[in-house]
Structure 1
Amino acid sequence: YRGVCVTREGKWRAVIYKERKQLYLGVFESEVDAAKAHDRAARQHFGDQAMVNF
């Protein structure tokens, strides 16, 4: 998923990038939860121009 990667502990980290800076969104138990967090933040920061997963 866009904005999601697995951690060494096997959890899922979510981030978005705005103005060349990484905005950390948190660590999640599931890949889907991390992707949903990314989508919420992307829509909040970029509105209709957001590139989302779902």
Structure 2
Amino acid sequence: MTGLRERKKRATREALMSAALRLVLERGLDTWPAPTCPTRCPPRRTRSSAAS
């Protein structure tokens, strides 16, 4: 059994990989800048945003 932290880390990695793969398939490897990927990934909460 894995803990919540490990499951969240795995889910984040999988979301990033899926978004990157989708972008590559849509636009090709040489046509998109890497900073585009985070805009396609699900939002994540940080400690500072969770406290507000």
TM-score in terms of structure 1 length = 0.38
Higher helix share: 2
TM-score in terms of structure 2 length = 0.39
Higher strand share: 1
Which structure has more RCO (C-alpha within 8 Å, separation ≥ 6)? 2
Structure of greater Rg: 2
